[in-house]
Structure formats: structure tokens, C-alpha cells
Amino acid sequence: MSDKLNDIYNAVCRLTGNKPVTDADKKEAIIKGLEKIEKKLNQVKREEKKNSKRIHDILNVVVSLANLRYDDKANVSGKRDDFDALALGINMLGEELQASTVSLNEKEILLKEIHHRVKNNLQVISSLLNLQSEKIMQPGLFEIFMESKNRIRAMALVHEKLYQSQNLSRIDFTDYISSFLTYMNECYNLNPEKITIHLDADKRPHYFKIDTAIPCGLILNELVSNSCKYAFPEDRIGNIYLYFGVEKYSENVDQFILQVSDDGIGIPAEIDIKKTDSLGLQLLEMLGCQIGGNLVLDRTNGTKFTLSFPVEKY
């Protein structure tokens, strides 16, 4: 036997584990050994094919999870090998994710329900005040009831917007303003031929969390109510202007501007808004501070209140 053939024979022996035989049988042994190797290779190929199918199966489930679909399950063969462990792990993760999603949805529904109930309860309080006010004979007391009713409605509107919003933790304040003005028109029964409300609000949505939305809603209520009640006595004709938008405070800092002005008779000069007995004006100071804002009164042409407060990114 040539050296080359002998080398091949030795290599086959090493690969198959066959023991050396006589020279005469070596050729036969090489053929049998190669057949054995071929069989093994085919077996490995079959295994690879099976494993590749299992990997594909697991990958499909991962893709489903990435698409937030949790019903797909990877097949666990029962071999308790690495592929089974991967399949088991991915299945269990899917089940946990599904449970978390259900739990999150339940919480969201619950939160919506809470905002809805808060709004309903506030509306009930507002209606009760309304009913009770019908029996009041003293005009001053009636006013107080109405003011309280409007404040409650301003807060109820925030909760209404919250449960209607996609994100239950914030509302679009631009949208709030337009709903609020509809309510104010109904409430004060404003005659459009005499008093016109002009709204100039940024068209972009500006989202406020409840902590900002409630004080801003109350401030808006105080300012617009103030103009509606006092600016145009004795059927005077006039305008109420409402501006809401974002302006530059400094080069890198923006601020919200909420401005309510009217061309009415103006606040009497002797009233100092920082030292007043009026609950409405006291509230403006207090609520303005609560949101880190600055309230400025301009009396040059009617009344112009400008509230500026920092922009928070939500």
C-alpha cells in the first residue's frame, strides 16, 4: 500500500475510531469508514436542519412579541436542551408580558373611571350650588354661589378632558380653552352683539399635567369671569381678548403666556391686586405662584392680565 493510501487509511481510522487491520483489508476498511463518515455527516445535516427549524420557530415567536402579539408559542420538544430552554423562556416572557399588558389596561380603565367619577361628582356639587342659589334673595350671596359653581366647573372640565385624552395624565390646554369658552358663553348668557370673545390661541397642542391644568383652568376662569362680570356694566358693548401661546423668555428658555384682556371700564385705580379682599384676585396670586408663574396687570386700556409661566416638556 502506498504511503498516500496509508495516510488516508490512518485518517479514516482516527475519524471513525476503527482499529487498524491488515494491509489486505485496509482498502475495504477505508470504503466502510468513508460510508460511516457519510452517514454521520448526513445525520449532522439532519440535526442541523431540525435545529434550524427550531431556531426559526423561536425567532417567529420573538417577532410576534416585538409586534406585541402574545398568543404565539414556541414548541418545547421535551428534549430539555438549549433550544427547549430558549423556547420555554420566550414562552414564559410572552405570558408575563401579556399579563402586564392586561394589568396596565385594567389600570388605565380604572384611572379613566376615576376621572369620570371626579368630574361627575364635581358636576353634582356645581348643580347643587345652582339649585340652592335659586333660593337666595341677597344678590351678593347669589354671586358667591355662582363664582363657586364656576370654579368647580373649571376643575370638572380638566377631569373631563383627562378621561377623554389618550394619555390619562395630561390634557391639551388649547383644547381646554375652547371648551371652557363655550361653557362661559352659556353660563353668562353673553349677548354676542354686545360682548365678543376673541380667542387667539396657538394651534399646536400644549399638554399640561393635572398639577398645572387645574390652577391654569382656575386662573382662566377668574380672569374671564372678571371681565364678563365687571368690564361691561349697564349693557356696554365691548370685547374680551384671550391669548394663549409660547413665547421666548430668554435665548434658550420658552414660557407660556396666558393673557385675558378687555376694553371695558377697567379695574378701579384704588384696588391693589396684591392687597385685596377679593377672593378671585387672591386666588390669581396664589394659583400663579403654584405654577411658578408671574401675573402682571396692565390698566392702560381697559384691563389686561398677563400670566407667564415656565414651559414644562411632557
Q: Under the rule (CB under 8 A), what is the footprint of other proteins?
A: 76, 78, 80-82, 84-86, 88-89, 91-92, 95-96, 99
Strands 170-172 and 238-248: unpaired
CB of 68 to other proteins, least distance (A): 17
Q: How far apart are CA 110 and CA 57, in angstroms?
A: 37
Q: Which is nearer to other proteins, 41 or 85 (CB)?
A: 85
Which of helix, strand or coil describes residue 274?
Answer: coil
Q: Which is nearer to other proteins, 75 or 165 (CB)?
A: 75
Q: How far apart are CA 196 and CA 199, in angstroms?
A: 10
Q: Which of 123, 133, 183 is nearest to 155 (CA)?
A: 123
Q: Work out the number of other CB atoms within 10 angstroms of the CB of residue 87.
A: 21
Residue 40 amino acid letter: K
Which residues touch 134 (CB under 8 Å, ≥6 apart)? none
CB of 60 to other proteins, least distance (A): 19
Q: Which is nearer to other proteins, 84 or 312 (CB)?
A: 84
CB of 91 to other proteins, least distance (A): 8
Written as nine digits, the cell of 100 is: 402586564
Q: Which is nearer to other proteins, 81 or 113 (CB)?
A: 81
CB of 287 to other proteins, least distance (A): 42
CB of 50 to other proteins, least distance (A): 17
Q: Which is nearer to other proteins, 80 or 194 (CB)?
A: 80
* Contact yes or no for 161/119 (Cβ under 8 A): no
